[in-house]
Amino acid sequence: METVYPSKIDLHMHSTVSDGTDTPEEILQNVKKADIKLFSLTDHDAIKGCIIIRGLLKEGDPCFIPGVEFSCSDDKGKYHILGYGYDPEDGAIRGVVEKGHSLRMMKVNARLEFLKDAFGVVFPQEELDRLFAMENPGKPHIGNLMAKYGYAKDKNDAIKNYINKKKFKNVHVRPDEAIEGILKSGGTPVLAHPAYGDGDQLILGEELDERVGYLKGFGLKGVEAFYSGFTAKIREQVLTLASKYDLYVTAGSDYHGTNKMIKLAENDLPDSADYPEGLKRFLREVVMR
């Protein structure tokens, strides 16, 4: 019997558990409204939203696979590593989540101190209380506050011209740590938006090949080839590397609600009949297993 693949897929989105504006409950409702057949919630350094959604699912709802996105860095660069289909109760994935969260909170404190000392940025205590009551506060939350109190034109101005001037060394989850934790918990590690590096950095050609091959050495299993920010040229390069390194292919929008001008399932995925083999294998071996 011929395998029937889901026709509308979004495997990269964020909720209020990290830096999105939709709650996990709203994510599920919006996914259903958008008629998405397969989805994953990939909050930064957090799996709580996935646990919430799993508890909400009912018969007839879209297919859901647990996800996560780890912000990683080592001496070769910065990477965002997605994990799919892990056991959320496993200690390996929870260990990486806990490290990512603790480093995130440390950086929030350091950024606030830096902004105060370097630019005189001070927020009311009630705003700080709300900030630290969040599951995983980060640069977008601080940027929104800076815009609200007139320290920057908007969130992007705040991040680019103020927040990013604070540099950190050796305070990230390493890519090998993230990949190992995902694998040990029964999950599948995938490189998010492979052509994007640090900030506005665009990585293509031989450099992109080296990047993918390097992470493959740690156990990387897939690449996100269908992505809201990719041109056809970038997508084809990523698909070529997926074939070269025998990697799965995934599709995601990077939806953040109103924090980004990206719609659910905005990833240029073709009709299911034209899915590349790497995506078909991912669906068969990871989602449908």
The CATH number for 149's domain is 1.10.150
Containing structural domain, residue 131: 107-165
192 and 79 share a domain?
A: yes
Has residue 4 been placed in a domain?
A: no
pLDDT at 1: 57
pLDDT at 126: 95
pLDDT at 165: 93
- Which residues, 6+ apart, have CB-to-CB distance to 216 below 8 Å? 245, 247
Q: Among residues 148, 165, 182, which one ends one of the domains?
A: 165
Edge to edge, what strands does the sheet with 67-74 contain? Answer: 67-74, 77-84, 188-191, 222-227, 248-252
The tens-digit pLDDT sequence of the chain (289 residues) is 578 899 999 999 999 999 899 999 999 999 999 999 999 999 999 999 999 999 999 999 999 999 999 999 998 999 999 999 999 999 999 999 999 999 989 999 999 999 999 999 999 999 999 999 888 888 989 999 999 999 999 999 999 999 999 988 777 899 999 999 999 999 999 999 999 987 778 999 999 999 999 999 999 999 999 999 899 999 999 999 999 999 999 999 999 998 888 999 999 999 998 999 999 999 999 998 8
User: Are the C-beta atoms of residues 174 and 74 closer than 8 Å to each other?
Assistant: yes
209 and 261 share a domain?
A: yes
Q: Are strands 77-84 and 188-191 parallel, antiparallel or unpaired?
A: antiparallel
Cα-based angle 34, 39, 45 (whole degrees, multiple of 5): 125
Number of domains in the chain: 2
Q: Among residues 121, 137, 165, which one ends one of the domains?
A: 165
181 and 114 share a domain?
A: no
User: Are the C-beta atoms of residues 238 and 278 closer than 8 Å to each other?
Assistant: no
- Which residues, 6+ apart, have CB-to-CB distance to 58 below 8 Å? none
Amino acid residing at 6: P
pTM score: 0.91
Q: Among residues 116, 149, 165, which one ends one of the domains?
A: 165
pLDDT at 181: 98
Amino acid residing at 235: R
274 and 178 share a domain?
A: yes
User: Are the C-beta atoms of residues 133 and 140 closer than 8 Å to each other?
Assistant: no
232 and 268 share a domain?
A: yes
158 and 133 share a domain?
A: yes
Q: How many CB atoms lie within 10 A of CB 219?
A: 15
266 and 140 share a domain?
A: no
51 and 93 share a domain?
A: yes
193 and 253 share a domain?
A: yes
Which is it for the CA torsion 228, 233, 234, 238, positive or negative? positive
60 and 114 share a domain?
A: no
For residues 231, 174, 198, 201, the Cα torsion angle rounded to the nearest 10 degrees is: -50
Crossing angle of helices 91-119 and 125-133, rounded to 10°: 160
CATH at residue 198? 3.20.20.140
Has residue 22 been placed in a domain?
A: yes
260 and 223 share a domain?
A: yes
22 and 125 share a domain?
A: no
pLDDT at 136: 82
Radius of gyration in angstroms for the set of CA atoms belonging to the chain, rounded to a whole number: 19
Name the nearest CA neighbour of 52 among 135, 110, 146, 176. 135
Has residue 102 been placed in a domain?
A: no
**Which tokens is 34 given?**
């958008």
Has residue 198 been placed in a domain?
A: yes
